[in-house]
Amino acid sequence: MIGNSVIKLEDVDVYQQKHLVLSNVNLHLDKEEFVFLIGQTGSGKSSLLKIIYGDLHITRGAGHVAGFDLTKLSDKDVPFLRRKLGIVFQDFQLLTDRSVEKNLEFVMKATGWKDQRLIDERIRDVLEKVGLRSKVKKMPHELSGGEQQRVVIARALLNDPEIILADEPTGNLDPGTSEEIVMLLRQISQYGTAVLMATHDYHIIRTFPSRIIKCENGIVHEDAKFV
Instruction: With respect to residue 52, please indicate whether it lies within any of the assigned structural domains.
Output: no
CB 64 within 8 A of CB 2: yes
Instruction: With respect to residue 119, please indicate whether it lies within any of the assigned structural domains.
Output: yes
Tens digits of residue pLDDT in 142-190:
999 999 999 999 999 999 999 999 999 998 899 999 999 999 999 999 9
Q: What is the pLDDT of residue 1?
A: 42
Instruction: With respect to residue 77, please indicate whether it lies within any of the assigned structural domains.
Output: no
Instruction: With respect to residue 110, please indicate whether it lies within any of the assigned structural domains.
Output: yes
Other beta carbons less than 10 A from residue 96's beta carbon: 10
CB 100 within 8 A of CB 176: no
Tens digits of residue pLDDT in 185-205:
999 999 999 999 999 888 999
Helix 100-110 vs helix 145-157: angle between axes, to the nearest 10 degrees? 30
- pLDDT < 50 positions in the chain: 1-2
Residue 102 in 3-state DSSP? helix
Instruction: With respect to residue 114, please indicate whether it lies within any of the assigned structural domains.
Output: yes
Instruction: With respect to residue 150, please indicate whether it lies within any of the assigned structural domains.
Output: yes
Model-wide pTM > 0.95: no
Q: What is the pLDDT of residue 41?
A: 86
Residue 146 structural domain: 98-160
Instruction: With respect to residue 129, please indicate whether it lies within any of the assigned structural domains.
Output: yes
CB 133 within 8 A of CB 124: yes
Output phi, psi for 216, to 5 deg.
-155, 125
Residue type, 32: E
- C-alpha distances (whole Å) from 98 to each of 158, 211, 215 are 17, 38, 38
Output phi, psi for 2, to 5 deg.
-100, 110
